[in-house]
Chains A and B, each alone.
Chain A
Amino acid sequence: MKRKTKTTLTALCFLLPNLLGFFVFMCGPVIFSLVVAFTNWNLTKTIPLRWIGFDNFAKLLELKSEFWPYLVNTVYLMMGMPIAIAGSLFLAVLLSQRLKGVVVYRTLFYLPMFTAGVAMLILWKKLYNPDFGPINLAIEGIWGYLRLGDACEVIGTGVLYNRPDSEVLRSLIHDVGWWFKGVLPEWLNSFEAPDWLSSTHNLLAVGAEQLGFDRKQFGLGAKDAIIIMGIWTVVGGSNMLLYLAGISNIPQDLYEAADIDGAGAWARFRHVTWPQLAPTTFFIVIMSFIGGLQGGFEQARVMTNGGPAGATTTLTFYLYTKAFQEFQIGYASAIAWILFAVIFSITLMNWRFGSRYVNY
């Protein structure tokens, strides 16, 4: 008994430095934040401090609230996740084939993640510049070089040159020929490279500043630009390394058994690699979800300031503007707690339904 209390005391001594900071900067603030979320606390002090119950949450979650479009933005930006994870898996599979120089490739792939930060965001802002950025210069250069409009015109002229006897064929050739000669070139020549970060367009045609879809918003814009940049950053990052470790842990006799059964490359992947990697995938998906829901702040602050027309404002950036630019601390705390609730429930759901497919 005496020895037990002694070890407990020793353990406490070892825990003390961390525990102290943990209480001061973690537990205390969490409770404090929860309390504040139910007040109208405002740092500008124009309104007296009051307990307002669920008012903050009600205001946040009502249909006209800004919260919903920003939640849509956050979810939209998370759509790059599955692509990035699939890309990581693909790269890991390629790298796991004992080739020479794999370490060099691994290093190159990991570089964007290791250097990620404000400097890289500024770089990408320059790359995405609609008028002078190298991306658009390249797109316009290649498009101009291909001269698809002229090609269509030539094809159309060639088609119209044919004069078969049959009436049906003639009218068909007439239609097709004019489609190529008159309609397509005009459409192709009106092509413009996307405006990237200064455009509210997006590939899903999600409406700007309103819920729902809007056909006019179809195209490449700020959200897609951020997604592409995000994929570039993370595809060769930690996820790829995790997959590499996962692949190297797969017992070799499983592959030998597959070979005896005459499995091809795809079958080996589908029936051995993929199921064996399920725990890794599961872990990566959960971590990506947690990160993705809190993400987009640096991009919004450095590259777009949340714009254009709020197209890149994620929940974290929304919280930042409310708390540290408008000083509505109570309201911002409510956002933080809703964010936490969403993260918590999605993680639980992932755990509940995702672990069903994981065979440890």
Chain B
Amino acid sequence: MSTIRASVLARWWFRHGRSYVTYAILTAIACTMLLPFLWMVLSSFKPLNEVNELNPLPSKLDLEIFKPGNAPGPKQFFAYTRYLVANLTMRNWVPGNYRDVFKKIPFAKYYFNSLFVAAWVTLLVTWTSSMAAFAFSRLQWPGRDHVFKLYLATMMIPGVVTMIPNYWLMVKLHLVDSYLGLIVPAAFTAFGTFLLRQFMLTIPPSLDEAAMIDGASAWQVFADLILPLARPGIIVLTIFTFMGNYASFFWPLILISREHLRTLPIGMLYFDTEYAQDTTVLMAAAVMNVIPLIVLFLVMQKHLVKGIQLGAVKG
């Protein structure tokens, strides 16, 4: 009898139980990942004097109705429900924090700066990298692979080595405190070339040979054949570059001193040092900082995951 029951248990365990345990662990970890975000969003809607309380919802429920004199009855029940609904429908929530961000700092300007710089850098990186990757993957020329190895080796040089001379270069070119100074040095990366080369190598070589025989020029092969075929790679590079430059910190920090040229990360940094006590407003700014990233991520997820996995594993 007991052996039968044990085997039933074992079968249940192997069919369903294990996956329940997995789900439980995954959910627990996912909650840990989400908690800081949750706290950020909830804090951004709270009045400042409530931010230091663990109570998750802004403005506590009014518990007057539960005073000893009032015996619980239908009246209390409805009152309680009304307060609960009032809380959830945000009657007591403070959207003013979001307004205050724009009052305290030129947030929109920072936003524009970040997007503007990131967009230009992305455009330039995609352009230079795709052309270089084409030369490194589709054209045959002597010493190609040696030059490419040299290229790759420079990826190991830490950014701080070139940071100081580049800053000095910007001083000499009078590009300190300018959009150009933010954009141009970031527009040439070995990483982009590397990533796109990996993608272009997966395109069968017979394709461009056939096109060449048909009399297409190298440029035509590049623009009409390889670029469209390498589109997944280009999308990945675009997202990475855009993200990296949207969040770029070190270079704008040393290059920009005038307020109206600050990018979002730098603006946030000075916002934090200046208004360190205004937790709720800071959190509102942080939420606005993060939301476009989350949206971009949700939209681009599929490409991104594939890109990360392709770019590194086959490298």
Which residues from 88 to 147 on chain A have a C-beta closer than 8 Å to any C-beta of chain B? Answer: 91, 94-95, 97, 99, 103, 105-112, 114-120, 122-127, 132, 134, 137-138, 141
Closest 8 CB pairs of A and B: A21-B188, A29-B165, A245-B309, A18-B132, A132-B52, A119-B289, A14-B135, A117-B247
Q: Verify if B213 is at the interface (C-beta below 8 Å from A).
A: no
Q: Verify if B61 is at the interface (C-beta below 8 Å from A).
A: no
Residues of B within 8 A of A97 (CB): 19, 22
Q: Verify if A311 is at the interface (C-beta below 8 Å from B).
A: no
Residues of A within 8 A of B167 (CB): 324
The chain B residue with its CB closest to the CB of A294 is: B158
The chain B residue with its CB closest to the CB of A241 is: B308
The chain A residue with its CB closest to the CB of B301 is: A107
Per-residue contact bits, chain A 247-269, to B (CB 8 Å; 1 contact, 0 not) = 00100000000000000000000
- How many Å lie between the Cα of A20 and that of B315 in the bound state? 25
Q: Verify if A232 is at the interface (C-beta below 8 Å from B).
A: yes
Residue pair B164, A11 in contact (C-beta under 8 Å): no
Residue pair A10, B19 in contact (C-beta under 8 Å): no
Residues of B within 8 A of A242 (CB): 308-309, 312-313
User: How close is A6's CB to chain B, nearest CB, in angstroms?
Assistant: 9
Residues of B within 8 A of A323 (CB): 163-164
Residue pair A33, B162 in contact (C-beta under 8 Å): yes
Q: Verify if B269 is at the interface (C-beta below 8 Å from A).
A: yes
- How many Å lie between the Cα of A353 and that of B167 in the bound state? 38
Neighbour of B162 across the interface among A30, A117, A301, CB < 8 A: A30
User: How close is A9's CB to chain B, nearest CB, in angstroms?
Assistant: 9
The chain B residue with its CB closest to the CB of A19 is: B132
Neighbour of A111 across the interface among B131, B268, B282, B297, CB < 8 A: B297
Residue pair B162, A29 in contact (C-beta under 8 Å): yes
The chain A residue with its CB closest to the CB of B30 is: A108
Neighbour of B144 across the interface among A11, A110, A122, A332, CB < 8 A: A11
Of the stretches A55-63, A168-176, A218-226, A340-348, the one at the interface is A340-348
Neighbour of B249 across the interface among A118, A125, A241, CB < 8 A: A118
- How many Å lie between the Cα of A200 and that of B167 in the bound state? 33
- How many Å lie between the Cα of A323 and that of B254 in the bound state? 10
Residues of A within 8 A of B144 (CB): 11
Per-residue contact bits, chain B 138-169, to A (CB 8 Å; 1 contact, 0 not) = 01111010000001001011111111111111
Neighbour of A122 across the interface among B140, B154, B272, CB < 8 A: B272
Q: Verify if A189 is at the interface (C-beta below 8 Å from B).
A: no
- How many Å lie between the Cα of A29 and that of B127 in the bound state? 23
Q: Verify if B250 is at the interface (C-beta below 8 Å from A).
A: yes
Residue pair B32, A118 in contact (C-beta under 8 Å): no
Q: Verify if B294 is at the interface (C-beta below 8 Å from A).
A: yes
The chain A residue with its CB closest to the CB of B293 is: A115
User: How close is B283's CB to chain A, nearest CB, in angstroms?
Assistant: 7
Residue numbers of A with Cβ under 8 A of B are 4, 7-8, 10-12, 14-15, 17-22, 24-30, 32-33, 36, 91, 94-95, 97, 99, 103, 105-112, 114-120, 122-127, 132, 134, 137-138, 141, 232, 236, 238, 241-242, 244-246, 249, 280, 283, 290, 293-294, 297-298, 301-302, 316, 319-320, 323-324, 329, 332-333, 335-337, 339-340, 343-344, 347
Residue pair B165, A32 in contact (C-beta under 8 Å): yes
Residues of A within 8 A of B40 (CB): 123
Residue pair B139, A18 in contact (C-beta under 8 Å): no
Residues of B within 8 A of A316 (CB): 160
- How many Å lie between the Cα of A244 and that of B312 in the bound state? 12
Residues of A within 8 A of B283 (CB): 123, 126
> What are 19 pairs between A and B in contact, CB < 8 Å?
A7-B218, A18-B131, A22-B190, A29-B165, A29-B166, A105-B26, A117-B265, A117-B289, A126-B282, A138-B54, A242-B308, A294-B158, A323-B164, A324-B254, A333-B164, A335-B160, A339-B158, A340-B161, A343-B156
Residues of A within 8 A of B193 (CB): 18
- How many Å lie between the Cα of A345 and that of B308 in the bound state? 27
The chain B residue with its CB closest to the CB of A286 is: B156
Residues of A within 8 A of B32 (CB): 232
- How many Å lie between the Cα of A319 and that of B250 in the bound state? 12
Per-residue contact bits, chain B 183-197, to A (CB 8 Å; 1 contact, 0 not) = 011011010010000
The chain A residue with its CB closest to the CB of B160 is: A336
